[in-house]
């Protein structure tokens, strides 16, 4: 029995059971005493050969025969394992995870669903019936009017139903919420070296991880949980269902979480995690040269053992087949060859060579794919998926040639964080799919930055950047399910599949789409949902559009050249037609929705916005560039707050940034401790391109935080295509003093959280005393002329009470919803990064996770009257700020104008940087005062592209930044 997966059997051991069980682990076998009993047990897997060798077993010496039959047993097992499992879907399958006590009790029918079945969205409405954890039937709604006896009927009112989503790369259970070092077991490193195929992720699973349910609440019902990427071969991985405590006893038991729970161990699919590139290189200080060699050396060892094993088995099969003198031949054979060569440490690697493992390889860059495939192919090994693979879009044909159907399991937008992720492309998914490669999106879940809960949103982002609707939905359902070789059970909503189903409140590719119900094995996972979701479930009125959003438009390079050349003249006059939505505050138009309005821009100022007759009758003639839009939108210029834009390009590469402020030295020593971002910024990099296509015209960037409470003084940057530091690239030298309190702010001078708050008070006191020194940052912070941005998850209201003149702003703000009213009363605004956050750390352990489980933080703060802005923590997601506004606006019931204000004018209002009329001599009160952006398509729903961005000084910042071939 070569398997060493050692999964704890939850059934009685076979020797105490009347029914022979094939589920026997090596561990249990070792416990068996008595040769006869052992032979008895071993025989069950290979009944045929037990008969054949039965007569000599009785006559020869027990130890010899025992070694031979044990070896032979393993030989048979290896031979039988290949291709033994039936992995085709079948209508009358049973769900072996189901149990009679806590399993789905009665038939459930979801009526009148718009069904994406894993491959396509079916025409018409459907009823989906499921029982005992299995989908029994999918039938057109009209053909099935009468109620089914005893069935629990859920009316979907035409809402979207999809199969449960499949995340083929997660790390929850290995690193439960809230993160604690004691519970963090991701990679086995570094003591056992960079090659650890023999370790198993399930040995570190924490089956009580609160993330299980949170992830399920995003519709993600199955996850492949892989060891981390520190090691070239990282160990075995396992697919789980995100159903907490699913067993009969309702206890947190790892085995019961496994997708394959209930299947005999030998029938279970095995998975391996491998990695290449920066992670193993950095951890073991090897170069890529050494990493490739170490893998070859290891596979060579395994290959050598495999050959010896195969030879032994071949000889053993021959002897077994002989008709006489078996006992003598067996002893001669064992004298010459010894027992079957085996090594527990190499067992997984042998399975790898024999093609028994589903291989998932973390690699990012073209040269890494090439090197990895060349080594693996040398040993006849074929991986199923490259993971992360952010630069695979550069070599789709190469990948196809070498591994025809390899799945690229990647991120829709997460990127730029290290050198091998810097050439990521927001159209990567589209490009790979255009070349015929299967594309899956996956979370890499460790926390908020790659939250598995929002897997569906990755499909939405990829769709927005051109991946077709059906492929986008497949990318989080059937494609990952097939890649992990479970396409016969999950990833589809068809008869015979596991009853993992999600009912959505809108088309699942719409921004903000949220499950209203999630079933796993036919069981309702969510239970109680928050009021705003509950009210939707049985409300016909609350059904969303049920239509996929449009892909954002792009423009051909030549056309861009044509349009943009004529707008380049700063004095140019432009007429836009086809404006349908006005999301700026202007006295010219009072409603958001307008029909085919005309926008006239003269000298960078809006001079007319209205019907054609009003705006085009004013003698507008020759000198105007006319741009005809279909779905024209006008929004304020968006503001990116707190990102690394301009201060650091690649977080893992110190040389690409300004450097960190550090935590040493006395925080009260302003001259030494307070640094200014304005001296360290540059205006280029990938994140700038992403920001520009997101309609962001301004960024507020602070120095890089290196611990301690002082981060430094932020600068206001312009993101225009041709802005330079010398020429308009900085719109405000000093925007705010940035501090941090809490765990991240522990440093040399402030070793505790409390000492950080003490220091904050002391520096404000020092600032009050130093009132007369006009250039003192602390003095300006103390009297409120320089805003004080404090990154904090918890309350700071007391500081504001004691220093009422400070202009205190909370950044981060996961804890803010709990004190929303006092914050509003104290006039403390919040710039929230945690609207789609979670309880990732102890400090944030009560953080609200948002719909469908709780109300979203933004809604609570807005309803309490807090002045609110939104920010995204990762530079790579900065292009999605408008959609972030929509996520918040959807549940807070905001108009689109109010939603877009959260990521634009509200940030200015919070920082006191709103453009005032005084700054523009001679501009009439009718004129809009601030940056504005003209879009084609709806920016909040990912359907829009920037056509023109115009700064408050009238300069054109950007013109069609997203062209057809742009690498974003
Ligand atoms: C299904 O739902 C849609 C949308 O709510 C509704 O118009 C239609 O009448 C429903 N059909 C049936 C058969 O209930
Ligand atoms: C790739 O997938 C296609 C379609 O399923 C199949 O016909 C083909 O045999 C596969 N190729 C390989 C090398 O597995
Ligand atoms: C705040 O203090 C700074 C520095 O002393 C000074 O220049 C500024 O005029 C003060 N502003 C207010 C509103 O008191
Ligand atoms: C930036 O400069 C380039 C080169 O002169 C020009 O082609 C482009 O149109 C300019 N962009 C804007 C927004 O003015």
pLDDT tens across 761-774, in order? Answer: 999 999 888 756 66
Beta carbon of 546 within 6 Å of any ligand 1 atom = no
Could you tell me the pLDDT band of residue 611, with boundaries at 50, 70 and 90?
very high
Which ligand 4 atom is the nearest neighbour of the CA of 959? 13
Q: Under 8 Å CB-to-CB from 337, ≥6 apart: which residues?
A: 312, 315
- Is-contact 326 281, C-beta < 8 A? no
Which ligand 1 atom is the nearest neighbour of the CA of 543? 5
C-alpha to C-alpha distances, 482 to 87, 178, 203, 492, nearest whole angstrom: 11, 32, 25, 10
Q: How much distance in Å is there from the Cα of 782 to the middle of ligand 3?
A: 9
Domain(s) labelled CATH 2.30.40.10 in the chain stretch across 98-164+493-551, 557-636+917-959
| Both structure tokens of 398 | 């190469």
Q: Which ligand has the shortest distance to the CA of 157?
A: 1
Q: How much distance in Å is there from the Cα of 148 to the middle of ligand 2?
A: 41
Q: What is the pLDDT of residue 56?
A: 41
Pocket test for ligand 3, best of 766, 769, 774 (most atoms within 8 A of CB): 774
Cis peptide before 816 (omega within 30 of 0): no
Q: How much distance in Å is there from the Cα of 730 to the middle of ligand 4?
A: 18
Q: What is the pLDDT of residue 841?
A: 95
Pocket test for ligand 4, best of 560, 563, 564, 569 (most atoms within 8 A of CB): 564
Q: Hey, whose CA ends up nearest to atom 6 of ligand 3?
A: 774
Fill in the DSSP letter of residue 804.
T
Beta carbon of 620 within 6 Å of any ligand 1 atom = no
Q: What is the pLDDT of residue 544?
A: 64
- Is-contact 850 451, C-beta < 8 A? no
In this prediction, residues 605-616 reach a mean pLDDT of: 90
Picking from 213, 202, 288, 199, the residue whose alpha carbon sits closest to that of residue 244 is: 213
Question: How far, in Å, CA of 111 to CA of 703, rounded?
Answer: 55
Q: Hey, whose CA ends up nearest to atom 1 of ligand 4?
A: 722
Q: Hey, whose CA ends up nearest to atom 13 of ligand 4?
A: 958
Of all residues in the chain, what percent are helix, strand and coil, respectively (each to 5)?
35, 20, 45
Q: Hey, whose CA ends up nearest to atom 12 of ligand 1?
A: 112
Which ligand 2 atom is the nearest neighbour of the CA of 403? 13
- Per mean pLDDT, which range of 44-53, 108-117, 453-462, 668-677 is the poorest? 44-53
Q: How much distance in Å is there from the Cα of 442 to the middle of ligand 2?
A: 23
Domain(s) labelled CATH 3.20.20.140 in the chain stretch across 165-492, 639-903
Q: What is the pLDDT of residue 914?
A: 86
Question: How far, in Å, CA of 676 to CA of 141, rounded?
Answer: 64
pLDDT tens across 584-599, in order? Answer: 998 889 899 999 999 9
Q: In what helix (H) or strand (E) does residue 885 lie, and over which residues does it extend?
A: helix 881-892
Q: Under 8 Å CB-to-CB from 326, ≥6 apart: which residues?
A: 53, 56, 319, 320
Question: How far, in Å, CA of 298 to CA of 345, rounded?
Answer: 11
Q: How much distance in Å is there from the Cα of 405 to the middle of ligand 2?
A: 6
CATH superfamily of 557-636+917-959: Urease, subunit C, domain 1 (2.30.40.10)
- Is-contact 449 874, C-beta < 8 A? yes
Could you tell me the pLDDT band of residue 80, with boundaries at 50, 70 and 90?
confident
CATH topology of domain 98-164+493-551: Urease, subunit C; domain 1 (2.30.40)
Q: What is the pLDDT of residue 34?
A: 34
Give the strand order in the sheet containing 730-732: 638-641, 696-701, 715-718, 730-732
Placement of tokens 């995204």 in the chain: 872
Task: Report whether pLDDT(837) > 60.
Answer: yes
Q: What is the pLDDT of residue 537?
A: 65
Q: Under 8 Å CB-to-CB from 57, ≥6 apart: which residues?
A: 39, 65, 69
| Both structure tokens of 460 | 């939405």
Q: How much distance in Å is there from the Cα of 296 to the middle of ligand 4?
A: 51
C-alpha to C-alpha distances, 582 to 142, 243, 512, 585, 847, nearest whole angstrom: 42, 45, 22, 8, 35
In this prediction, residues 266-285 reach a mean pLDDT of: 96
Which ligand 4 atom is the nearest neighbour of the CA of 958? 13
Q: How much distance in Å is there from the Cα of 404 to the middle of ligand 2?
A: 7
Neighbours of 321 (CB within 10 A): 10
Pocket test for ligand 1, best of 112, 123, 126, 545 (most atoms within 8 A of CB): 112
Question: How far, in Å, CA of 698 to CA of 640, rounded?
Answer: 6
Q: How much distance in Å is there from the Cα of 117 to the middle of ligand 1?
A: 19
Q: What is the pLDDT of residue 145?
A: 60
Q: Which ligand has the shortest distance to the CA of 772?
A: 3
Question: How far, in Å, CA of 151 to CA of 55, rounded?
Answer: 57
Pocket test for ligand 3, best of 713, 771, 785 (most atoms within 8 A of CB): 785
Radius of gyration of the chain (CA): 31
**Ligand 3 — pocket residues by CB below 6 A?**
771, 774, 776, 779-780, 783, 785
Q: What is the pLDDT of residue 31?
A: 39
| Both structure tokens of 233 | 């071969």
| Both structure tokens of 776 | 């003192």
Question: How far, in Å, CA of 700 to CA of 714, rounded?
Answer: 6
CATH 3.20.20.140 fits 639-903, yes or no: yes
Picking from 427, 563, 490, 3, the residue whose alpha carbon sits closest to that of residue 220 is: 490
Q: Hey, whose CA ends up nearest to atom 5 of ligand 3?
A: 774
Task: Report whether pLDDT(560) > 50.
Answer: yes
Cα within 13 Å of Cα(895), Cβ side:
11
Q: Which ligand has the shortest distance to the CA of 438?
A: 2
Task: Report whether pLDDT(35) > 70.
Answer: no
Picking from 420, 426, 371, 427, the residue whose alpha carbon sits closest to that of residue 398 is: 371
Fill in the DSSP letter of residue 434.
H
Pocket test for ligand 4, best of 560, 567, 568 (most atoms within 8 A of CB): 568
Q: Hey, whose CA ends up nearest to atom 11 of ligand 3?
A: 785
Q: What is the pLDDT of residue 939?
A: 98
Entry field: residues in the chain: 968
Task: Report whether pLDDT(644) > 70.
Answer: yes
Q: How much distance in Å is there from the Cα of 947 to the middle of ligand 4?
A: 14
pLDDT tens across 212-251, in order? Answer: 999 999 999 999 999 999 999 999 999 999 999 999 999 9
Q: Under 8 Å CB-to-CB from 874, ≥6 apart: which residues?
A: 414, 417, 449, 643
Question: How far, in Å, CA of 937 to CA of 579, rounded?
Answer: 10
pLDDT tens across 518-546, in order? Answer: 999 999 999 877 777 777 666 666 666 68
Q: How much distance in Å is there from the Cα of 356 to the middle of ligand 3?
A: 72
Q: What is the pLDDT of residue 62?
A: 54
Q: What is the pLDDT of residue 542?
A: 63
Beta carbon of 568 within 6 Å of any ligand 4 atom = yes
Instruction: Supply the mean pLDDT for the chain.
Output: 89
Question: How far, in Å, CA of 880 to CA of 882, rounded?
Answer: 6
Which ligand 1 atom is the nearest neighbour of the CA of 142? 13
CATH 3.30.365.10 fits 165-492, yes or no: no
- Is-contact 903 598, C-beta < 8 A? no
Q: Which ligand has the shortest distance to the CA of 770?
A: 3
Which ligand 1 atom is the nearest neighbour of the CA of 112? 1
Q: In what helix (H) or strand (E) does residue 8 lie, and over which residues does it extend?
A: none
Q: Which ligand has the shortest distance to the CA of 777?
A: 3
Could you tell me the pLDDT band of residue 54, with boundaries at 50, 70 and 90?
very low
Q: What is the pLDDT of residue 573?
A: 87
Distance of CA 300 to the CA centre of its chain: 36
Give the strand order in the sheet containing 233-241: 165-170, 220-225, 233-241, 270-275, 357-363, 385-388, 407-410, 439-441
Could you tell me the pLDDT band of residue 559, with boundaries at 50, 70 and 90?
confident
Q: Which residue has the higher pLDDT, 631 or 543?
A: 631
- Is-contact 191 140, C-beta < 8 A? no
Picking from 812, 858, 809, the residue whose alpha carbon sits closest to that of residue 829 is: 809
Q: How much distance in Å is there from the Cα of 420 to the middle of ligand 4?
A: 30
Question: How far, in Å, CA of 632 to CA of 630, rounded?
Answer: 6
Q: Which ligand has the shortest distance to the CA of 404?
A: 2
Q: What percent of the chain has pLDDT over 90?
A: 75
Q: Under 8 Å CB-to-CB from 305, ≥6 apart: which residues?
A: 341, 342, 343, 346, 350
**Ligand 2 — pocket residues by CB below 6 A?**
404-405
Placement of tokens 């399975």 in the chain: 351
Question: How far, in Å, CA of 620 to CA of 882, rounded?
Answer: 33
Q: How much distance in Å is there from the Cα of 142 to the middle of ligand 1?
A: 10
Question: DSSP states of 598-637 as a string?
Answer: EEEEETTEEEEEE-HHHHHSS---TTEEEEEEEEEEEEEP
Q: Burial, 64: exposed, middle or buried (Cβ in 10 Å; 0-12, 13-18, 19+)?
A: middle
Q: How much distance in Å is there from the Cα of 654 to the middle of ligand 4?
A: 31
Fill in the DSSP letter of residue 663.
S
Beta carbon of 956 within 6 Å of any ligand 4 atom = yes
In this prediction, residues 927-941 reach a mean pLDDT of: 93
Beta carbon of 355 within 6 Å of any ligand 1 atom = no
Q: Which ligand has the shortest distance to the CA of 956?
A: 4
Beta carbon of 959 within 6 Å of any ligand 4 atom = yes
Pocket test for ligand 2, best of 401, 404, 487, 488 (most atoms within 8 A of CB): 404
Which ligand 2 atom is the nearest neighbour of the CA of 404? 13
Could you tell me the pLDDT band of residue 12, with boundaries at 50, 70 and 90?
very low
C-alpha to C-alpha distances, 481 to 497, 513, 763, 943, nearest whole angstrom: 12, 22, 56, 29
Could you tell me the pLDDT band of residue 89, with boundaries at 50, 70 and 90?
confident
Longest dimension (CA), the chain: 113
Task: Report whether pLDDT(103) > 50.
Answer: yes
Question: How far, in Å, CA of 251 to CA of 529, rounded?
Answer: 23
Q: How much distance in Å is there from the Cα of 783 to the middle of ligand 2?
A: 69
Q: What is the pLDDT of residue 527?
A: 83
In this prediction, residues 708-716 reach a mean pLDDT of: 96
Could you tell me the pLDDT band of residue 60, with boundaries at 50, 70 and 90?
very low
Beta carbon of 962 within 6 Å of any ligand 4 atom = no
In this prediction, residues 127-145 reach a mean pLDDT of: 89
Distance of CA 866 to the CA centre of its chain: 29
Q: What percent of the chain has pLDDT over 70?
A: 89
Neighbours of 50 (CB within 10 A): 17
- Is-contact 380 844, C-beta < 8 A? no
Q: How much distance in Å is there from the Cα of 138 to the middle of ligand 1?
A: 17
Q: How much distance in Å is there from the Cα of 708 to the middle of ligand 3?
A: 26
**Ramachandran bin of 613, using left for φ above 0, alpha for ψ from -120 to 50, beta for the remaining angles:** alpha
Cα within 13 Å of Cα(132), Cβ side:
9
Helix (H, G, I), strand (E, B) or coil at 946: strand
Which ligand 1 atom is the nearest neighbour of the CA of 156? 2
Question: How far, in Å, CA of 27 to CA of 5, rounded?
Answer: 10
Task: Report whether pLDDT(83) > 60.
Answer: no
Q: What is the pLDDT of residue 676?
A: 96
Q: How far apart are the first and last CA of the chain?
A: 51
Pocket test for ligand 4, best of 560, 625, 721 (most atoms within 8 A of CB): 721
Q: What is the pLDDT of residue 618?
A: 59
Beta carbon of 141 within 6 Å of any ligand 1 atom = yes
Is the overall model pTM greater than 0.85, yes or no?
yes
Question: How far, in Å, CA of 795 to CA of 91, rounded?
Answer: 56
Q: How much distance in Å is there from the Cα of 950 to the middle of ligand 4?
A: 13
Q: What is the pLDDT of residue 774?
A: 66
């Amino acid at each position: 029995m070569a398997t060493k997966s050692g999964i704890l059997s939850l059934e009685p051991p076979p020797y105490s059971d009347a029914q022979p069980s094939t589920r026997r682990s090596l561990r249990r076998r070792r416990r068996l005493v008595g040769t006869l009993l052992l032979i008895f047990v071993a025989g069950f897997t290979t009944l045929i050969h037990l008969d054949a060798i039965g007569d000599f077993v009785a006559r020869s010496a027990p130890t010899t025969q025992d070694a031979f039959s044990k070896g032979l047993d393993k030989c048979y097992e290896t031979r039988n394992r290949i291709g033994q499992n039936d992995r085709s879907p079948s209508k009358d399958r049973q769900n072996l995870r189901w149990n009679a006590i806590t399993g789905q009790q009665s038939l459930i029918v979801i009526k009148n669903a718009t069904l994406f079945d894993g491959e396509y969205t079916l025409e018409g409405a459907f009823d989906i019936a499921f029982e005992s954890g299995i989908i029994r039937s999918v039938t057109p709604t009209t053909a099935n009017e009468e109620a089914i006896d005893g069935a629990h009927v859920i009316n979907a009112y035409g809402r979207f139903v999809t199969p449960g989503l499949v995340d083929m790369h997660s790390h929850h259970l290995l690193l439960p919420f809230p993160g604690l070092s004691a519970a963090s077991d991701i990679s086995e490193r570094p003591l056992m070296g960079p090659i650890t195929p023999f370790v198993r992720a399930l040995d570190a699973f924490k089956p009580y991880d609160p993330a299980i349910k949170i992830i399920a609440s995003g519709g993600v019902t199955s996850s492949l949980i892989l060891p981390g990427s520190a090691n070239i071969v990282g160990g075995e991985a396992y697919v789980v269902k995100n159903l907490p405590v699913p067993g009969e006893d309702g206890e947190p038991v790892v085995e019961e979480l496994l997708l394959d729970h209930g299947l005999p161990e030998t029938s279970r699919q095995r998975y391996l995690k491998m990695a290449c590139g920066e992670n193993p290189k950095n951890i073991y200080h090897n170069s890529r040269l050494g990493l490739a060699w170490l893998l070859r050396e290891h596979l060579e060892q395994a290959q050598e053992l495999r050959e010896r094993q195969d030879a032994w088995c071949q000889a053993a099969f021959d002897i077994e087949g002989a008709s006489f003198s078996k006992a003598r031949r067996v002893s001669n054979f064992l004298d010459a060859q010894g027992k079957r060569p085996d090594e527990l440490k190499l067992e997984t690697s042998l399975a790898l060579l024999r093609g028994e493992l589903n291989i998932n390889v973390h690699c990012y860059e073209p040269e890494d794919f090439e090197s990895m495939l060349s080594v693996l192919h040398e040993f006849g090994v074929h991986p199923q998926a490259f993971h992360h693979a952010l630069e695979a879009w550069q070599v789709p044909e190469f990948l196809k040639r070498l591994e025809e159907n390899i799945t690229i399991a990647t991120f829709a937008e997460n990127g730029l964080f290290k050198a091998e992720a810097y050439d990521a492309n927001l159209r990567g998914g589209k490009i790979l799919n255009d070349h015929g490669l299967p594309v899956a999106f996956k979370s890499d879940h460790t926390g908020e930055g790659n939250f598995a809960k929002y897997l569906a949103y990755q499909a939405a982002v990829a769709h927005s950047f051109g991946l077709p609707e059906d492929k986008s939905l497949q990318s989080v359902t059937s494609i990952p399910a097939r890649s992990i070789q479970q396409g016969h059970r999950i990833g589809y909503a068809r008869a015979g599949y596991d009853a993992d189903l999600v009912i959505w409140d809108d088309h699942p590719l719409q921004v903000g789409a949220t499950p209203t119900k999630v079933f796993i094995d036919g069981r309702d996972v969510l239970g109680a949902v928050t009021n705003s979701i509950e009210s939707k479930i049985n409300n016909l009125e609350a059904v969303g559009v049920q239509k996929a959003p449009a892909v954002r438009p792009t423009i051909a390079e030549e056309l861009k050249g044509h349009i943009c050349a004529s707008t380049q003249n700063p004095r140019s006059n432009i007429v836009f037609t086809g404006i349908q939505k006005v999301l700026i505050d202007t006295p010219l138009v009072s409603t958001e929705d307008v029909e085919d309005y005309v926008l006239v821009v003269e000298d960078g100022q809006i001079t007319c916005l209205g019907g054609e007759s009003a705006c085009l009758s004013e003698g507008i003639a020759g000198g105007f560039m006319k741009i005809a839009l279909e779905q024209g939108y006008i929004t304020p210029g968006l503001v990116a707050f707190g990102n690394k834009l301009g201060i650091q390009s690649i977080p893992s590469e110190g040389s690409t940034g300004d450097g960190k402020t550090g935590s040493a030295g006395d925080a009260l020593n302003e001259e030494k401790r307070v640094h200014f971002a304005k001296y360290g910024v540059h205006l280029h990099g990938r994140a700038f391109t992403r920001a520009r296509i997101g309609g962001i015209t301004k960024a507020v960037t602070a120095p890089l935080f290196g611990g301690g409470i002082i981060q430094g003084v932020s600068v206001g940057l312009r993101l225009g295509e041709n802005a330079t530091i010398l020429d308009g690239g900085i719109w405000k030298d000093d925007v705010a003093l940035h501090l941090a309190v809490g765990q991240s702010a522990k440093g040399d001078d402030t070793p505790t959280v409390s000492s950080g708050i003490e220091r904050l008070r002391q520096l404000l006191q020092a600032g009050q005393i130093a009132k007369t020194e006009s250039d003192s940052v602390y003095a300006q912070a103390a009297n409120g002329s320089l805003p004080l941005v404090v990154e904090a998850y918890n309350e700071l209201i007391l500081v504001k009470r004691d220093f009422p003149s400070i202009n205190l702003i909370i950044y981060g703000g996961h804890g803010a919803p709990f004190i929303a009213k006092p914050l509003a009363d104290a006039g403390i605004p919040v710039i929230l990064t945690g609207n789609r956050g979670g309880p990732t750390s102890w400090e944030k352990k009560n953080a609200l996770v948002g719909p469908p489980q709780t109300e979203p933080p933004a809604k609570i703060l807005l309803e309490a009257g807090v002045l609110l802005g939104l920010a995204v923590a990762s530079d790579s997601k900065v292009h999605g700020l408008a959609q972030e506004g929509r996520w918040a606006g959807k549940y807070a019931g905001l108009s689109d104008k109010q939603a877009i204000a959260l990521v634009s004018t509200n940030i200015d209002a919070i920082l006191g940087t709103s453009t005032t009329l005084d700054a523009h001599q001679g501009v009439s009160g009718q004129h809009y005062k601030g940056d504005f952006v003209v879009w084609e398509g709806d920016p909040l729903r990912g359907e829009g592209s920037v056509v023109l961005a115009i700064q408050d000084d009238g300069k054109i910042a950007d013109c069609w930044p997203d062209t057809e071939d742009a690498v974003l």
